[in-house]
Amino acid sequence: MLPSHAMPERASHSSFYAEPPVLQCLLEELRREFAGSEVHEAFAYGSDGVVLECFIPPGHWSYLAVTWTVPAVFRLRSSLPKRPRLAPGPIRNALRGRQVASLSLSPPDLLILALEPCAEVILRLDARNGWAIVRERTATDWAIVASQGRPPEEILLRASPQFEPGLPAEKAPAAPRFWIRYDRSQPILRPVRICGGDSLSPSALPEAEIFDTPSAALETFLHQLLRYRAFVEGKSEVEKVLRRRLKKLQRLQENLRRDVIEAGEAERYQLFGNLLLANVGQNPRGEGMVRLPDFDGNGLVDIPLDPSKNRVENAEAYFHLARKLRRKAEVASARLRLTQAEIEACEQQLARLPSVTNFQELREIQEIVCRPEKGEQHPIGKEARKPSASRSDSRILRFRSADGLEILAGRSAEGNDYLTFQIAREHDFWFHVAGGSGAHVVVRNPQRLAKCPPRTAEQAAALAAYLSKFRQSNSATVLMTQRRHLKRPRGRAPGEVVLKAFESLTVKPALPSPGTEDAVE
Q: Which of 179, 177, 175 is closest to 212 using CA atoms?
A: 177
Q: Which residues lie across from 429 on neighbouring strands?
A: 443, 482
**Interval 173-182 mean pLDDT:** 69
**Interval 320-346 mean pLDDT:** 84
Residue 415 lies in a domain: yes
What is residue 466's predicted lDDT score, i.e. its pLDDT?
Answer: 92
Q: Where are the alpha helices (DSSP H) in 445-503?
A: 454-466
Burial pattern 486-518, b for ≥16 Cβ within 10 A else e, equals beeeeeeeebebeeeebeebebebebbeeeebb
**Interval 185-191 mean pLDDT:** 73
Percent of the chain with pLDDT over 70: 80
Residue 323 lies in a domain: no
**325 and 259 in contact (C-beta within 8 Å)?**
no
**192 and 228 in contact (C-beta within 8 Å)?**
no
Sign of the C-alpha dihedral computed for residues 161, 162, 164 and 170 taken in this order: positive
Kindly report the CATH number assigned to the domain that includes residue 59: 2.30.310.10
pLDDT category at 389 given cuts 50, 70, 90 is low
Q: Where are the alpha helices (DSSP H) in 159-264?
A: 214-262
- With a cut of 70, say whether residue 11 has pLDDT above it: no
Q: Which residues lie across from 64 on neighbouring strands?
A: 52, 75
- With a cut of 90, say whether residue 179 has pLDDT above it: no
Give the pLDDT confidence of 447-494 residue by residue, as tens digits: 888 889 899 999 999 999 999 888 888 889 999 999 988 888 877 777
Give the pLDDT confidence of 121-152 residue by residue, as tens digits: 888 777 667 778 888 887 777 778 877 767 77
Q: State the Cα angle at 153 between 150 and 155, rounded to 5°.
A: 90
Task: Give the DSSP letter string of 67-131.
Answer: ETTTTEEEE--SPPPSSPPBPPHHHHHHHTT-EEEEEEEETTTEEEEEEETTEEEEEE--TTT--
Give the pLDDT confidence of 79-91 residue by residue, as tens digits: 777 778 888 887 8
Give the pLDDT confidence of 21-57 residue by residue, as tens digits: 777 788 888 888 888 888 888 888 877 788 888 888 8
What is residue 85's predicted lDDT score, i.e. its pLDDT?
Answer: 84
**390 and 363 in contact (C-beta within 8 Å)?**
no
Looking at every residue in the chain, the average pLDDT score rounds to 77
- With a cut of 90, say whether residue 441 has pLDDT above it: yes
Q: Is 352 helix (H, G, I), strand (E, B) or coil?
A: helix
What is residue 507's predicted lDDT score, i.e. its pLDDT?
Answer: 92
What is residue 168's predicted lDDT score, i.e. its pLDDT?
Answer: 43
What is residue 82's predicted lDDT score, i.e. its pLDDT?
Answer: 74
What is the domain range of residue 503? Answer: 394-507
Q: Report the C-alpha gap between 246 and 252 in whole angstroms.
A: 10
Q: Report the C-alpha gap between 345 and 470 in whole angstroms.
A: 32
**Interval 102-115 mean pLDDT:** 78
pLDDT category at 379 given cuts 50, 70, 90 is very low
Of 156, 184, 206, the domain-final residue:
156
Residue 469 lies in a domain: yes
**120 and 135 in contact (C-beta within 8 Å)?**
yes
Which amino acid, residue 333?
S
- Pick the more confident residue, 128 or 361: 361
Residue 315 lies in a domain: no
Give the pLDDT confidence of 491-510 residue by residue, as tens digits: 777 778 888 888 989 999 98
Mean pLDDT check: name the lowest of 33-42, 61-70, 231-240. Answer: 61-70
Could you tell me if residue 329 is left (phi over 0), alpha (psi between -120 and 50 degrees) or otherwise beta? alpha
User: What is the pTM (predicted TM-score) of this model?
Assistant: 0.53
What is residue 431's predicted lDDT score, i.e. its pLDDT?
Answer: 94
Residue 49 lies in a domain: yes
Please give the tally of structural domains in the chain: 2
Of 156, 190, 207, the domain-final residue:
156
Of 156, 178, 202, the domain-final residue:
156
Residue 247 lies in a domain: no
Residue 294 lies in a domain: no
Sign of the C-alpha dihedral computed for residues 504, 505, 508 and 512 taken in this order: negative
- With a cut of 80, say whether residue 400 has pLDDT above it: yes
What is residue 19's predicted lDDT score, i.e. its pLDDT?
Answer: 59
Residue 121 lies in a domain: yes
pLDDT category at 386 given cuts 50, 70, 90 is very low
- Helix 265-278 / helix 311-352 crossing angle, nearest 10 deg: 170
